Structure 1
Amino acid sequence: MDPALHKAVKQGNLELLKYKLTVDPKALLSRTPQQNTALHLAARLGHQYIAERILKECETLMLEKNRDGDTPLHIASKFGKIEVIGLLINYSLEWPIDLESEEDGPLTARNKLGNTALHEAVTHGRSEVALRILEANPNVGHMLNERKESPLHIAAREGMAMVVKEILKQPWVEKEEETQPAVSGTGSPLHQAVVGGHIKIVEMLLSLRSDFVKQVDGEGSNTLHYAAQNDNAKMVEMLIAKDPCLAYDNNYLGQPPLHVAVQYGSKSAIKAILKHCPDTAEQYSLETCFWSMISEKPG
């Protein structure tokens, strides 16, 4: 990158930037070894006025990507630079594309991991940023990355209840790729809320998206398998109350949730499953093991 331009952006020196662009407007085309533009740097550092001046000169830098495929909006979202986020969103809203589509506009552009700026915001715990992006384009809450994770998956796992609530306000029609089993360890947003141990989010998803209950991950595990593995008795009871059939569903290894609970030594989960679905023990020759693990005898 042009040294004078780099210095102006890093220091947040607006006068030096204006002078440099006056004598050499093409300096904005220069990049760092990581392929960051001046706008990427301004976004990373939170220099709102520097970013604004750059955009006045060349607003197409909004869509330029660095070596990781990140646009300036990705960068600002990762680092929580809310003032720059506001500026970039304002420019994004004037972009000549259909915001209902998933074309590579500023708000929907994906990096090499398939992440949008909203994915990056929730991954890095930037709730305020995430809410600003959702206000600008609610549809991005359901876009999938390469792991078939939407921002809703990540927000549910990380316990970002306000973000989950905002995403769930927006209805959407699932595409074919969203109906396919997710990769192992991902599953539905409800799976991820169970993984994170977030009771309020589990309650929210059970109420507003009951279709998540029966979805499985790439290994055929339903949400109760996850609760059993994590030894979360409260979630076991919530899930069984919603759909008792979950206790009898096998994953692709032929294991029901009770088997998984025994495998992981989840004593509280074993108790909860047997309390509400005692006949699940009859499917296996492990009944003695079940009762010995919970240190109680039936009846």
Structure 2
Amino acid sequence: MASHKHRCGNKDCAKSFNTEGQLNRHSKVHTKPFQCPICERGFALRLDMSRHVKARHRLGHGKYACPIAYCTFKATRKDNLAQHERNMHMQAQQLESIEAPKPPKIMALSANSNDQSDIHQSPPNHAPQEQLWSCAMFLQAATAGNLAVLEACFDSKIDIDTAADDGSSALHCAARAGQELAVHFLLEKEADISARNRKGRSPLEEALVGKSKGTIERLLGKGAKLGSLKVAGACITQSGSFDIIQECFSLDGSTLDELKNQTLYAASALGRTSLVSALLSQVNDQISGDDPAHLPVPAWRRLVDGREELLWAKQGNRNQYTPIHLASLKGHYEIVRLLVQHQFKVNMLARGLTPLHLAAKAGHVSVVEYLLGLGSIEINPKDQEGRMPRDLAAISGHLDIVELFHRQANIDTRCHDTSGLSILQLSAIHGRWNVAQAFLDHEEGPQVHGTPLHSLDQRQAAPFQIVVGLLQHPDFSNINIVDNDMNRGERRGEGLLHVAVRQNECDVIRLLLDREDINVNIDTRGSLRTPLHKAIELGHSDAAKLLLQHNKFDASLRGKWVAHPLTMARKKGLDEIVELLLARGVVDPKNEALMSANARNTALDPNMVYPEVEEPAECDLEVQPYSFLDEYMNDSPEYMVDETQALDKDTM
């Protein structure tokens, strides 16, 4: 008799379980009953919620240092440190069996609690360790708001401005946690009110992120000032509190307009629609006639006296995105609409890109539809590579957005970029087979303007069939074409053969290798990162075998910026590929190193016998498991990261 299965009640989940208890535990994945008290994010487990609070809303995190004397590695988690020790030091037997004492634990208290903390601490063995423990206790007490421990640490002559590995002092920790009484205590003890942590934030800016109005008022009362207006604007936006925002904007000073400007940037990038609307309503009250540059948009009154901060906000410049660029990049439709209504220029080039370029590349259909519906929009602007927004959508595989452009009456369908590449070539050498197939089918069908690209054939063909069609197309008379776009990063200079290897499409690889004009040794950026390097790097043994069996494979190629193919294959455990490489005459780097060393040694002393020289081991970058503390290390506002880095990473 078959056992009864308990199925998940969520309509989007098909999982089933043997017991009701397993089902109940699984259901928390959907209901997320444990909510963060600060940001209201939900979690299935209380432990996960606690880790989130520590990683995202608390400061003063310590790191675990590698015990090897010459090693400077530090990890945010003990298991990551243990993995590092195994990978990097265990073979050399350099580790000592020393177990570090556990740090003291302090029970967290609310800001209004009068209960005493329970401190569990083993007596330290020597002075340096005692100092470390005192620092940890001091920072934890500041975060927990434990005044008794704070005072005890201060009486023990601890430096009031001692900082953790993240550069945060006790005042930073207390301000971020909203511990008003702890902040008052530290200020009375003359803690440095202007100190900055590794994120460039002062205690006042951490208090803004912590959303504690009382803490902010205490810091302001002691003369705290906002530092970098870009950082300050981001922190104000992250607070999400209109009371706090008004508190900051009520400060007198000549930098108020610039602070509002930076807040508008951050709010546009982070999707804070209500804040953007409030800021724009203040702009309307200060509109003057003509701006200083005589541009056909209103400027804020302060600009008449020569100030340029808010002119940047509306007009942008060649090196900085405007708020409408950031909102388009992140797909915030309502914010884009608000900014357009307030006459932000939709055709402004920043870093060579318009808002339409960014929205199309990122695949934000609603934003692209809205921008295309504007009468003033330019749909064929070109970036620094000579590519239109439609081209960027094709490169990213967004066929639905490519269709939106195709329906426009004034779309340039014959455009090529500065390298002479068509949209069909771009979509193919980026591995976007759905877009390539759509254009192939469209050219074979009736040339009716406005016909959806995929309406001629709804079936998705296999990559092999699509490449067969591409090789018959005039655009691929040269099958070795590559994309030399500087923004492609490590994929710059890749072509059809690289894409086939990356996707492990062996049928496509065979098809390409059967062509007489194929360059099996084609490299990227002149660094000799050939298709073979890519196959070994990804562990695609079958693809590597096909490349090695080709009669034009060059065994003498040596990569300048990448590891030797034999070294890579050995590290990946691809023994069969190692044998094939040696059979094809590839020089073993181990033998080269030995011969070179023996030659040098013989010249020094022909009669001395020297030990063999082993190939130096290459250190892999450690792939660490997910950590909530890793969230903290990346909690800078999204718009402060270089937007082009996230934008130009191709995914396949």
Same fold (TM over 0.5): yes
Which residue identity does 1:157 align to in structure 2?
A
Which residue identity does 1:66 align to in structure 2?
N
Which residue identity does 2:322 align to in structure 1?
S
Contact 1:134 1:166 in 2 (8 A): no
Which residue identity does 1:295 align to in structure 2?
H
* Partner of residue 289, structure 1: 439
1:14 to 2:173 alignment = no
Which residue identity does 1:169 align to in structure 2?
S
TM-superposed CA distance for 1:160, in Å, is 1.4
* Partner of residue 227, structure 2: 109
* Partner of residue 200, structure 2: 69
* Partner of residue 324, structure 2: 190
Give the distance between the partners of 2:140 and 2:271, measured in 1 at CA.
Answer: 39
Give the distance between the partners of 1:269 and 1:241, measured in 2 at CA.
Answer: 13
Q: CA 1:134/1:243 → structure 2, altered by over 3 Å: closer, same or farther?
A: farther
Which residue identity does 1:88 align to in structure 2?
I
Percent identity at matched positions? 20
Contact 1:240 1:247 in 2 (8 A): yes
Which residue identity does 1:180 align to in structure 2?
N
Structure 2 unaligned spans of 5+: 1-130, 250-254, 284-299, 417-421, 425-437, 444-451, 457-652
1:211 to 2:344 alignment = yes
Q: CA 1:109/1:94 → structure 2, altered by over 3 Å: closer, same or farther?
A: same
Contact 2:207 2:215 in 1 (8 A): no
Q: CA 1:216/1:86 → structure 2, altered by over 3 Å: closer, same or farther?
A: farther
Trace 1:170-189 onto structure 2 (pairs within 5 A). Answer: 170-171=282-283, 172=300, 173=303, 174-175=308-309, 178=312, 179-182=316-319, 187-189=321-323
Trace 1:29-108 onto structure 2 (pairs within 5 A). Answer: 29-34=160-165, 35-58=167-190, 61-78=192-209, 80=210, 82-83=211-212, 85-89=213-217, 91-92=219-220, 95=223, 106=225, 108=226
TM-superposed CA distance for 1:222, in Å, is 0.5
TM-superposed CA distance for 1:18, in Å, is 5.6
Contact 1:152 1:167 in 2 (8 A): yes
Give the distance between the partners of 1:193 and 1:229, measured in 2 at CA.
Answer: 13
After TM superposition, the structure 1 stretch with the greater mean CA deviation from structure 2, 240-249 or 85-94, is: 85-94
TM-superposed CA distance for 1:211, in Å, is 2.6
Structure 1 unaligned spans of 5+: 96-104
TM-superposed CA distance for 1:77, in Å, is 3.5
SS of the aligned residue for 2:454 comes to coil
Contact 2:317 2:349 in 1 (8 A): no
SS of the aligned residue for 1:252 comes to coil
**Root-mean-square deviation over aligned CA pairs:** 3.7
Give the distance between the partners of 2:187 and 2:174, measured in 1 at CA.
Answer: 11
1:134 to 2:245 alignment = yes
TM-superposed CA distance for 1:271, in Å, is 2.2
Bigger RCO of structures 1 and 2 (CA < 8 A, at least 6 apart): 1
Contact 2:141 2:147 in 1 (8 A): yes
TM-superposed CA distance for 1:72, in Å, is 0.9
* Partner of residue 100, structure 1: none
TM-superposed CA distance for 1:181, in Å, is 2.0
* Partner of residue 335, structure 2: 201
Q: What count of residue pairs does the alignment treat as equivalent?
A: 265
Q: CA 1:217/1:47 → structure 2, altered by over 3 Å: closer, same or farther?
A: same
Contact 1:9 1:42 in 2 (8 A): yes
Q: CA 1:93/1:55 → structure 2, altered by over 3 Å: closer, same or farther?
A: closer
Which residue identity does 1:289 align to in structure 2?
F
Contact 1:119 1:150 in 2 (8 A): yes
Give the distance between the partners of 1:196 and 1:176, measured in 2 at CA.
Answer: 21
SS of the aligned residue for 1:70 comes to coil
TM-superposed CA distance for 1:10, in Å, is 4.8
Residues 35-88 of structure 1 deviation map (CA, whole Å, 9 limit, x = unaligned): 543312212333111112333443x7332223543211232344x2x23x4322
Give the distance between the partners of 2:247 and 2:152, measured in 1 at CA.
Answer: 34
1:231 to 2:368 alignment = no
Contact 2:258 2:309 in 1 (8 A): no
Contact 1:134 1:167 in 2 (8 A): no
1:157 to 2:269 alignment = yes
Which residue identity does 2:240 align to in structure 1?
S
Contact 1:43 1:75 in 2 (8 A): yes
Contact 2:143 2:170 in 1 (8 A): no
Give the distance between the partners of 2:193 and 2:232, measured in 1 at CA.
Answer: 12
Which residue identity does 1:71 align to in structure 2?
S
Give the distance between the partners of 1:136 and 1:269, measured in 2 at CA.
Answer: 43
TM-superposed CA distance for 1:135, in Å, is 0.9
Which residue identity does 2:245 align to in structure 1?
L
Which residue identity does 2:197 align to in structure 1?
N
Contact 1:248 1:257 in 2 (8 A): yes
Contact 2:161 2:192 in 1 (8 A): no
SS of the aligned residue for 1:281 comes to coil
Taking structure 1 as the reference length, the TM-score comes to: 0.70
